[in-house]
Structure 1
């Protein structure tokens, strides 16, 4: 389409200088269009639903159930569900947070608070302890599949780096 337009314009001009300017301008416009098309973000995988979790609600539920002074679930249930006692979990969490800033809760550019370190580590621990799929973290922990996988990767690297004896 742009080439046909360019031919029509070129037929209307006699001067070589004007032809050169129009040719250069047209080529530049085509280059910019190609560049714009290549920069478009594709976002998530086509066909996948985008689910926005209430991150704060997930953190509050997790904290209230297992980590508050008056936790809903007693110590023996914490140990059964996490395969370790609470003090060990919190020690590992503080060590992992000190090693990798991925586990530190952040706020994004528009002020939306991110996932808490408890949510990220709980997802990683549950996947390791029970061998559950990453997408099973959605309901309780309020963390998406890709973030659960990312949390597991960061967790594994941090644990190996901090606790592996050389």
Structure 2
């Protein structure tokens, strides 16, 4: 919490973006929505009566595992959370995101989506690009030999 989320955090907004691949307000909005939908992401007391992992910790673990393809061992060392709990957290997070955003973002594009994307790519100078990844002819200095 002291590193990223408190008012006088140790790290800056730029550090947050580099670490989480999103702005802090986006993380907070995602955290809030996930907590509303899935009780798993609310803080509870453990069997000894002490507070368990915070919602911030749970979402942080899930996002870091996805953003960095991090193993559960590293999460165990960093957050002190067991491998099975890290995996449970990741599964709960992914299922919740699918539940929340399936209809709006996780579907094949419809006509309206395609029209919006076509306008966007044309504005950026890539007309006719939808549906054809081979249309992109950029020089890629470090392109793997097999793709050339």
TM-score (ref. length: structure 1): 0.60
Q: Name 2:94's counterpart in structure 1.
A: 156
Contact map agreement 1:122 1:141 (CA 8 A) in 2: no
Q: Name 2:9's counterpart in structure 1.
A: 71
Shift of 1:110: 3.2
- Structure showing greater relative contact order (alpha-carbon pairs closer than 8 Å, 6 or more residues apart): 1
* Distance across 2 between alignment mates of 1:122 and 1:93: 9
* Distance across 1 between alignment mates of 2:28 and 2:67: 16
* Equivalent of residue 86 in structure 1, options 24, 27, 30: 24
Q: CA 1:142/1:110 → structure 2, altered by over 3 Å: closer, same or farther?
A: closer
* Distance across 2 between alignment mates of 1:133 and 1:150: 13
* Equivalent of residue 136 in structure 1, options 69, 74, 91: 74
* Equivalent of residue 100 in structure 1, options 38, 42, 45: 38
* Distance across 2 between alignment mates of 1:148 and 1:109: 18
Unmatched segments (≥5 aa) in structure 1: 1-62
Shift of 1:146: 1.0
* Distance across 2 between alignment mates of 1:149 and 1:99: 19
* Larger helix share, 1 or 2: 1
* Equivalent of residue 145 in structure 1, options 83, 97, 101: 83
Shift of 1:140: 2.5
TM-score (ref. length: structure 2): 0.67
Matched residue count: 104
Unmatched segments (≥5 aa) in structure 2: 105-148
User: Larger Rg: 1 or 2?
Assistant: 1
- CA RMSD, 1 decimal: 1.2
